[in-house]
Structure 1
Amino acid sequence: MTNPEYLTPAGLHHVPGAFTPAVLVPGADLVFLSGQVAWDEHGNLSGRDHLAQMRRIAQNLDTALAAAGCGREHIIKETVYIVDYHPELLPELFTALRQGVPAAPASTLVGVSALFAPGVLVEVDVVAKVPAR
């Protein structure tokens, strides 16, 4: 099996030594993304509400997945962490997350009391199947 490729795509903020934004496993044609939050490329939090943050997260997912040669339509598993979760949030958040996606992937939603920094309301990590090249 080929060694994993550790990807740090331009346009995504990342903290060297703390995490790698995306790890591509070539032999399995899978890419694993670290939890994406609503950071811009400089590490500034974008949005103060759940929906604004999810929209930025979707942009970040697009950037990370493109570096591995795929898109959100290739996501096979998602885990969504939400601070202060209320069921009425779900339709808007999943619409923003899955825009243009033909079928919903396997999914887990976890309501949490806090994420790693104040103001961060949503975090999403995914696994995607990279199409044959």
Structure 2
Amino acid sequence: MPVTLLNPDGLMKTDVYRQVAISTGTRQVHIAGQVAYDADGQLVARGDLAGQVAQAYRNVGIALAAAGATFSDVVRLTFYVVDWKRELMPEFLAGIEQVARESRITPAPASLIGVSVLFEPGVLVEIEATAILD
């Protein structure tokens, strides 16, 4: 396994993501920002952050699989969320938990960045991923 994830002593402990990813692989996979579009290019879960997080996460999984990777190979996730405020955390996490029930998600190091707008009205979240493969 080319990726080791950990939360070292002295840093906040969390089950949602890991603070550190150590990778030894040689093949990098960079997934462009994924949003809540279905295969037909239609926005899923308009106005529903949890639903859009879940669909965007599923799309990341599809992109990873196309590269021969899984969430276990991910060393970095970046989430961009429109009009982010801490009060949205339960809804945000509900979307992740929804996908976690469907497939195995490894809690890689992640950043959540609040933005005022994404590229299209109605899109609430965008997820980028980086994975390492041997």
CA-atom RMSD in angstroms: 1.9
Q: Equivalents in 2 of 1:128, 1:53: separation in Å?
A: 22
Q: Equivalents in 2 of 1:89, 1:71: separation in Å?
A: 27
Distance 1:30 1:95, change over 3 A: farther
Match of 1:77 in 2: 76
Q: Percent identity?
A: 38
Unaligned runs of 5+ residues in structure 2 are: 1-24
Aligned length: 104
Q: Equivalents in 1 of 2:33, 2:109: separation in Å?
A: 16
Deviation at 1:95, TM superposition (A): 5.5
Q: Does residue 1:120 correspond to 2:123, yes or no? A: yes
Q: Equivalents in 1 of 2:87, 2:105: separation in Å?
A: 21
Q: Equivalents in 2 of 1:80, 1:35: separation in Å?
A: 9
Task: State the one-letter code of the partner of 1:35.
Answer: G
Q: What secondary structure, in the 3-state scheme, does the structure 1 residue paired with 2:112 have?
A: strand
Q: Equivalents in 1 of 2:110, 2:93: separation in Å?
A: 11
Match of 1:101 in 2: 105
- Higher RCO (CA < 8 A, seq sep 6+): 2
CA-to-aligned-CA distance 1:82-121 (integer Å, 9 cap, x gap): 002121322442454372334x222111101000000000
Deviation at 1:38, TM superposition (A): 0.4
What's the TM-score, normalizing by structure 1? 0.70
Unaligned runs of 5+ residues in structure 1 are: 1-26
Match of 1:43 in 2: 41
Q: What secondary structure, in the 3-state scheme, does the structure 1 residue paired with 2:34 have?
A: coil
Q: Does residue 1:33 correspond to 2:31, yes or no? A: yes
